[in-house]
Amino acid sequence: MSLLVTEELDVRHGLLQAVRDVSLELQDGETLALVGANGAGKTTLLRAVAGAHTPSAGRIVFDGNDITSTPPHVRVKMGIALVPEGRRLFTRLTVEENLLLAGRVRRPGPWNVERVLEAFPILREKRKARAGSLSGGQQQAAAIGRALMTNPRLLLLDEVSLGLSPAAVAGVYESLRVLIEGGATLVLVEQDLQQALSVATRVVCMLEGRVVLEGPAGELSRDEVVEAYFGLHRATGEAAS
C-alpha cells in the first residue's frame, strides 16, 4: 500500500486554479523531487498534503486513510511534517527551544534533540543561539530538525535551497542524504535541478498546475526534465502536430 496518494486533486486560490487534476503515489522510503518553474503549483500541492490548503476536488489518502478534510495539527500527529518555504522559525527562541517546542506534538519515535544535532552538526555549537542569529544554511537545518522532532513518516520540504549560498546548499543536502539513507520518506520541492536529481528516487515535473512529466530519476535525462520544466516538450509537440 502506498504511503501517500493524491487522486485527481484540484486546489484553488480564489478564482485561480493552482493545482489541476494531480494524481500521485508515494511509497515508504521514496524521495520524490517535485520540480517546476515559479507558479507551477508545487508549493500549493505540498501545502494541500500538509493541510494548509483545502482541495476543491479530489482527495488525499495517507497510510490508507482519507485525510482530505483532516486538520493540519491532526496530520502532524499522523506523521506528516512540513518544512515551509522561508523556514519560519521562532527567531527569538534558541535552536534548542525551537526543537523542543516541536517535540511537544511528537509521535513516538527515535528523533530527539541529540539525534537532530547528530544529523545536522552545524547546529551543535548554535544550540543555545537565537534562531534569528543563524546563517541561512543553519536556519534551514534548524527548520528541518524542528520537523524531524515530530517523528514524521512523511517529510515535506519546500524550496530547500532558496536564498542559500552554494556552500550552505551543499551542507543541507549532505544531511538530507543521511536521512534518505536512513529510510526517510521525502517530498522535495526544489528549483535547483542538479541537487534535486542527485537525491531523488522519482521525479515529478509540474507546469501550470499539472503534472507534465513523471518517472524514476534514473530513467529521466536532465534534458527531458529541463524541457518539461520550461514547457518545451509541449511546444515541440504542438509544433509537430
Per residue in 152-204, pLDDT tens? 999 999 998 888 899 999 999 999 999 999 999 999 998 888 898 999 999 99
How many domains does the chain fold into?
1
| pTM of this structure | 0.91
**pLDDT tens digits, residue range 100-138?**
999 888 889 999 999 999 999 999 999 999 999 999 999
**46 contacts 159 by C-beta, under 8 angstroms:** no
CATH number assigned to the domain comprising residue 24: 3.40.50.300
**Encoded amino acid at 81, one letter:** A
Rounded-to-integer distance, Cα 121 and Cα 220, Å: 33
Check whether 48 has a pLDDT greater than 60. yes
d(CA 183, CA 180): 5
Reported as a single tens digit per residue, the pLDDT across 82-109 is 998 877 899 999 999 999 999 888 889 9
Residues contacting 170, CB < 8 A, separation 6+: none
Per-residue confidence (pLDDT) for residue 193, from 0 to 100: 87
Contact 24, 208 (CB under 8 A): no
Q: Is pLDDT above 90 for 57?
A: yes
- Domain hosting 163: range is 4-240
